[in-house]
Amino acid sequence: MAISQKIQQFMENASWIRKMFEEGAALRKEFGEKNVFDLSLGNPNLEPPEKFFEVFAALATQRMPGRHGYMSNAGYHETRDAVAEYLSEEHGKEIFGRHIIMTCGAGGALNVVLKTLLDPGDEVVISRPYFVEYNFYIDNYQGVSRPVKTKEDFSLDLYEIEAALSPKTRAVLINSPNNPTGRVYNKESITGLARLLENKSREFGKEIYLISDEPYNKIVYDGVTVPSILAAYRNSVLITSYSKDLSIPGERLGFIAVNPDAAPLEQLINGMIFCNRTLGFVNAPAFAQRVVQQLQGMAVDVAIYQRKRDLLCTALQKMGYRLIKPEGAFYLFPQTPINDIEFVRELQQERILTVPGNGFGSPGFFRIAYCVEDWVIEGALAGFKKLADKYFK
């Protein structure tokens, strides 16, 4: 075998999203682009804000020595300062550039943090459903995933989390707004989680870190806000990216913000900077850092995603699908009337591409990504209705 048995097994058991992408390509070739309704990928369909193009064009014409050269492994000082200034206002907490590490997207950031924190056998508690790559990221550094259930409405279940905590726990990893459910964990939950981790850290005589993965934190609806983990818990690390709020996932730019009150602060930051380099990222993309430096706090028009959410939720609920209306992100996670993999296969027969909940650690559900053109949602409704009539009537 050319590759390790472990990776072969991972490939066979994972990445339903990629499988749907490949099968979707075959369907499009057979039936035509407009006759396949791909709701499988979380690839933003909105263009970046106009200001992005203005800044991009202006910077592209500037010529300065070293403009595209290496920089500090943590990123440009001026970009980190701009990020810190914005975060200080957003979180009501004094944050400086030295607390920020620019990364190759949120995925790169999470790998940097986990490599910095984990020794072999250390445990990371994650709440189901979770982003499909979490198990693999944790395994990259010989860590152990400890998945726990959420409540029926996908909110955090602090009792389940408490039961999973042990002297081996190194971190709790949350994702809010959540992929795949769109749930935003409310302030009460975050405050309760912080109190729990403080108590358990004292009990075990070690620091338990709270890592919050928030690439969708500006894509929220109906006046919902994402509570600040930096304000809630001392040993917290915020991870995010510009992929979704600025609609630039291909630019691979994000950052880590280490809580200024975390312990041991300098050791944590220096470790993450070291890992940013030695994991092979070296530093985040130079040009993209220059661009986002001038775009702090900006985002695409979230009202467009909200309209798509409402269109899809209203239609599916009328058909009989059971679902929780998302508070953020651009995903819907309805229940399936039969085995989720079988149901997704039946949808595929209607040329509708979705992802089974099994890939997110939650069988019995399926994920719909509505960051697509309206015609894709509208075109898929007939197929959803056909299966609803089959199973719900």
Question: Longest C-alpha distance within the chain, in Å?
Answer: 69
Q: What is the pLDDT of residue 17?
A: 66
Instruction: Tell me whether strands 352-353 and 144-148 are parallel, antiparallel or unpaired.
Output: unpaired
Indicate whether 6 pLDDT > 90. Answer: no
In the numeric block, the tokens 């707004």 are attached to: 177
pLDDT band at 10 (very low <50, low <70, confident <90, very high): confident
- Cβ neighbors of 151 (< 8 A, separation 6 or more) are 157
Span 159-178, average pLDDT: 98
Span 227-234, average pLDDT: 98
**Coil vs helix vs strand at 173:** strand
The domain spans of the chain are 13-46+301-392, 51-292
Indicate whether 1 pLDDT > 70. Answer: no
CATH assignment, 51-292: 3.40.640.10
Among the ranges given (34-43, 155-164, 179-188, 213-222), the one the predictor scored with the smallest mean pLDDT: 34-43
Span 63-68, average pLDDT: 83
pLDDT digit string, tens, across residues 309-339: 999 999 999 999 999 999 999 999 999 999 9
Strands of the sheet containing 209-213, edge to edge, are: 100-103, 254-258, 236-241, 209-213, 169-175, 123-127, 144-148
CATH assignment, 13-46+301-392: 3.90.1150.10
Span 349-377, average pLDDT: 96
In the numeric block, the tokens 């510009």 are attached to: 242
Tokens of 176: 């809010």
Q: Measuring CA to CA, which residue among 247, 382, 225, 240 is closest to residue 305?
A: 247
Tokens of 151: 């409540």
The pTM (predicted TM-score) of the whole model is 0.95
Q: What is the pLDDT of residue 130?
A: 97
Q: What is the pLDDT of residue 7?
A: 77
Indicate whether 18 pLDDT > 70. Answer: no
pLDDT band at 93 (very low <50, low <70, confident <90, very high): very high
In the numeric block, the tokens 């900006």 are attached to: 298
Q: What is the pLDDT of residue 30?
A: 78
Span 368-389, average pLDDT: 98
Q: What is the pLDDT of residue 371?
A: 98
pLDDT band at 16 (very low <50, low <70, confident <90, very high): low
Span 337-359, average pLDDT: 95
Span 336-361, average pLDDT: 95
Q: DSSP characters for 13-49?
A: HS-HHHHHHHHHHHHHHHH-GGG-EE-------SPPP
Within 13 A of 300's CA, how many CA atoms are on the CB side? Answer: 25
Among the ranges given (2-16, 91-105, 230-244, 354-368), the one the predictor scored with the smallest mean pLDDT: 2-16
271 φψ region: left (φ > 0), alpha (ψ -120 to 50), beta (else)? alpha
Span 251-255, average pLDDT: 97
147 within 8 A of 170, measured Cβ to Cβ: no
pLDDT digit string, tens, across residues 107-160: 999 999 999 999 999 999 999 999 989 999 999 999 999 999 999 999 999 999
Share of the chain above pLDDT 90, in %: 88
Indicate whether 163 pLDDT > 70. Answer: yes
Q: What is the pLDDT of residue 29?
A: 79
Indicate whether 391 pLDDT > 90. Answer: yes
Q: What is the pLDDT of residue 13?
A: 63
pLDDT band at 65 (very low <50, low <70, confident <90, very high): confident
User: CA dihedral defined by 175, 178, 183, 185, rounded to 10 degrees?
Assistant: 10
Q: Measuring CA to CA, which residue among 97, 92, 71 is closest to residue 82?
A: 97
Span 194-221, average pLDDT: 98
Calculate the alpha carbon distances from 313 to 23, 332, 357 in Å.
Answer: 26, 8, 18
Mean pLDDT for all residues in the chain: 95
Of the chain, the end-to-end C-alpha distance in Å amounts to: 49
